[in-house]
Structure 1
Amino acid sequence: MSTFLLVPGLHLGGWAWDTVVAELTAHGHRALPVTLPGLAERAGEDPAAIGLQEHTDTLADRLGAEEPGVILVAHSYGIFPTLAAADRLPGKVARLVLVDTGLPEAGESVLTLMPHLLDAADGPVLRVPQQIDAVHGVPAAEWERYRRLATPHPARTVTEPIKLTDAWRALPTTGILCVHGGLTLETVRSLHATGAPRFAGLAEPGVTYFELPTGHYPMLSTPVELADVLIRAAAGGGRGLLEP
């Protein structure tokens, strides 16, 4: 049995993982979805008081309450507080799993990588997108649930830089690439082939990859398949970057 701590991306709460949680539980695992401050059922909290540090502290507290061996899963924006928490408590983490997201460097913010997010700024929050592109494959019923449950996202969480000591780099890591959104093994190989230092670790032993034939929201579009891949990742499955 594995324990999965599931961290959502922008505008999402623990609700986004509902079907994934049900699948993991049905296979005998513990699945713990996280809602970060200011989102979903915590949307009543003052967004102006919530930055990346508050999200990191919340997740580190959840991680610290678990026994060692957690499979720490981050979707999209969630990699920022997830990586910072794993860096703080690497002894608690058995594997870090990245769902359709990259790895920030120390001192970077979400806006460093995605400056267009400021277009959605509305005072202390980022507005919820009015649509999800068809390429992501989200069924109509799940899109309706997204529209009903998604919440404005505290804006300071995307402007504050991440604090890292690089203790996390010793952790086994798996990337789940959602190919319909453009992130594929071939893309990652191309990044690694540039020789840039930030991409050197992409082909390290202990780093594996899976591709999913869906878009950026696999917990909504292909949750059963995502749960299966998470179980396989927890067992050390997946392909190395340079494997044929």
Structure 2
Amino acid sequence: MTAFVLVPGAWLGAWAWDEVAAELRAAGHEAHPLTLTGLAEKRDLPAGQRTHVDDIVAEVDRLGSDDVVLVGHSYSGIPVGQAAQRIGNRLRRVVFVDAGVPAHGESFASAWWQGQPAFEAELAAHGGDWAPITAPECAGQDLTDDRIAHFLAGATPHPGASLTEPAVVTGSLADLPATYVKCLLDGEEPTPDVAALLKSDSWRLVEMETGHWPMFSRPRELAAVLMEQVSGRTP
């Protein structure tokens, strides 16, 4: 029985994985969705990126399993990648779902398409947090109106310090046993840093015909992709 640790992206808590977790459990696996500090029910707690790395490592330690698949969506790929290096061979695989990957000394904000100064200005305008996305920004991402409403109803501001704190990468991410899930409605090609990692024999690419939030738009298909990573089959 594989234990899946499911880490949500910006603005989201463990609740975002409810449907995916149900599919994994129905197939006989363990599913452990994780709310990062400073979000959802942990909204009132201060958090930086190192806090989020520690959250993830602590959850894997709590499980005490050496058969873990660690899954990170969007923003959480950055702390997930760092946590994976600390956890080591207790992980069967790391899955990055349309996610960022960490680079030593770089932050989520510095890799953002408008650059860190613009991102920091946006944070300052919202009390130091990253304000949740709005409904118009969800357009074209394979989400029904009901799914968008569900997403936005649970979204909370994301702690800005976790977005501006630089990553600490201690080795080559190319050595991780990893899968990258590219959601094609959010861009047809992986970013250059991900494309470079995908040249490693340890990395696989899986494409999904959906938007950036497949846990809402295609939860059953995403669960199937996750399970395929431990079945020995290539999707």
* TM-score w.r.t. length of structure 1: 0.86
For 1:51, the equivalent position in structure 2 comes to 48
1:126 to 1:201, Cα distance in 2 relative to 1, 3 A: closer
For 1:176, the equivalent position in structure 2 comes to 181
For 1:195, the equivalent position in structure 2 comes to none
Runs (5+) with no aligned partner, structure 2: none
How much has 1:127 moved relative to structure 2?
0.8
1:151 aligns with 2:148: no
1:228 to 219, 224, 231: 224
1:20 aligns with 2:20: yes
Structure 1 consecutive aligned stretches of length 4 or more whose deviation exceeds 2 Å: 115-120, 167-171, 198-201, 234-239
Runs (5+) with no aligned partner, structure 1: 193-197, 240-244
8 Å CA contact 1:181, 1:216 repeated in 2: yes
- Describe the SS at the equivalent of 2:198: helix
8 Å CA contact 1:90, 1:167 repeated in 2: no
Distance in 2 separating the partners of 1:179 and 1:52 = 27
- Pick which of 4-13 and 119-128 moved more: 119-128
Superposition map of 1:54-133 within 5 A:
54-66=51-63, 67-114=65-112, 115=115, 117-118=119-120, 120-121=122-123, 122-131=126-135, 132-133=137-138
How much has 1:237 moved relative to structure 2?
3.8
For 1:9, the equivalent position in structure 2 comes to 9
Distance in 1 separating the partners of 2:143 and 2:195 = 31
Distance in 2 separating the partners of 1:164 and 1:109 = 11
How much has 1:199 moved relative to structure 2?
4.9
Superposed CA RMSD in Å reads 1.9
Distance in 2 separating the partners of 1:136 and 1:117 = 23
For 2:206, the equivalent position in structure 1 comes to 210
How much has 1:236 moved relative to structure 2?
4.3
8 Å CA contact 1:38, 1:50 repeated in 2: yes
Percent identity over the alignment?
36
Distance in 2 separating the partners of 1:44 and 1:203 = 41
Corresponding residue pairs, total: 227
Distance in 2 separating the partners of 1:3 and 1:129 = 30
